[in-house]
Amino acid sequence: MTANLSSTKARAALRTSARASAELLLILLMLAVSLWVLGRMWSVVWPLVIGLLLTTLTWPPTRFLLRRGWKPALAASTVTVLFLLVAAGVVALIAVPVASQSGELTDGVVDGVQKVREWAAGPPLNIGDAQIDKAFDSAVSRAQDGLGSMVGAVVTGVSTVVNGLVTGVLALFLMFFFLKDGPRFLPWLARQLPGRLSTDVPTVAARGWDTLGSFVRSQAAVGLIDAVLIGLGLWILGVPLVLPLAVLTFVSAFVPIIGAFFAGFVAVLIALVSNGLMDALIVLAIIVVVQQLEGNVFQPMIQSRGLGLHAAVVLLAVTLGGSLAGIVGSLLAVPVAALIAVIWNYMREQLQEPSQDPGTAEPETGIATPS
């Protein structure tokens, strides 16, 4: 009897495992098909994503104008024009210093190479000039051999710039329409969906929008604080390209963890080339202190529990996104992970058994019953 019972349990466990495995394979297959379709539609999806991210930044002033009685079209147009002016000003602030200080930076690179060469020629390396010249000639030869591929890369880069401009224009138009018609989207969506979907989908969409807005605005605030503090330190030390480096620090804040390392590396490299080793070490110390303040003070205060993601999940998401889709994947990894968490939490809420206390006839719904 015991053997029969054990074999019955074993067969039941195997059937359950097989069914769970088949369902998991089906989910993975659907996910793979969805990613393939997403890749085929990327030229449309990417402007849509950028438009949504920009809308989360520009929605607060639009909402402020709407509450003051402005028409939706007028409020959206005003905010869009102001956004374009601010973006053009930021681009000008980056381009002008870079153009004016490019010669100084080039001279600094040459001087830095010469210093490295003199250091390598002395103890303890004692590398002779002949060896250095040989290595330099070999590097020049390789660069000349790769000239054709460099030209191809330039052509590809021009094409990428054109595609980026088209994507930017589409994203701006989408941002305008989202600002103008966004409040009417969820009621319209609820009317189009049947049954319970008319409640579930708009609810998840509203929570996802709140989460996305929390992520973008909090990262913008943290990035602005980092850019101001690091930029102030670079300005005090007299490091060139302070404004472009500060803007790079701000933009890199939207790629958590990895972006901070990249922006810090660039700032230290510029300080090393232009100001020397001591100032580069001071810049490194400033960046480390600011990053510690960001991780332990600024980010917890600003973000609070807006995303509900552990730091390890953020790191793994950024790593996975970067390996799958490069810079774009790193940029979108955290908001996508946060949206997945929103969907999962809502599904878990719906699948939980309603808890009823003894003597309670029906669970609380928040809806008053007629007396």
* Segment 263-319, tens digit of pLDDT: 887 788 778 777 777 888 888 898 888 877 776 666 656 655 556 666 677 777 777
pLDDT at 143: 42
Q: Are 331 and 201 part of one and the same domain?
A: yes
What percent of the chain is modeled with pLDDT above 70?
67
Answer whether residue 14 is part of any domain: no
Please give the span between the terminal C-alpha atoms of the chain, in angstroms, as a whole number: 59
Confidence label for 50 from pLDDT (cuts 50, 70 and 90): confident
pTM for the predicted model, two decimal places: 0.60
Do 218 and 135 share a structural domain? no
| One domain for residues 127 and 47 | yes
CB 333 within 8 A of CB 321: yes
Are both 230 and 188 inside the same structural domain?
no
C-beta separation of 247 from 89 below 8 A: no
Task: Answer yes or no: is 224 within a domain.
Answer: yes
Is residue 210 scored above 60 in pLDDT? yes
Domain end call among 133, 157, 192: 192
* Contacts of residue 212, Cβ cutoff 8 Å, sequence gap at least 6: 52, 53, 56, 335, 338, 339
The answer to whether residues 49 and 183 belong to one domain is yes
Are both 172 and 232 inside the same structural domain? no
Report the pLDDT value the prediction gives residue 150, as an integer from 0 to 100. 36
b/e per residue 72-97 (b: at least 16 CB within 10 A): beebbeebbeebeeeeeeeeeebeeb
Q: Is residue 121 part of a domain?
A: yes
Statement to judge: residues 119 and 74 lie in one domain: yes
CB 275 within 8 A of CB 238: yes
For residues 308 and 325, state if they share a domain.
Answer: yes
Domain with 232, as residue range(s), is 194-351
Check pLDDT > 60 for residue 359. Answer: no
pLDDT confidence band for 79 (50 / 70 / 90): very high
Residue 152 in domain: no
Number of domains in the chain: 2
Same domain, 187 and 251: no
Q: Average the pLDDT over 164-179 and give the result.
A: 83
Are 205 and 215 part of one and the same domain? yes
The answer to whether residue 27 is domain-embedded is no
Query: Could you tell me if residue 358 is inside a domain?
Result: no
Lowest-pLDDT choice from 57-71, 209-223, 347-361? 347-361
Residues 53 and 181 in one domain: yes
33: in domain = no
Mean pLDDT over 334-351 rounds to 82
Averaged pLDDT score across all residues of the chain = 74
Q: Are residues 51 and 129 in the same domain?
A: yes
pLDDT tens-digit readout, 181-206: 888 887 887 888 888 888 888 888 88
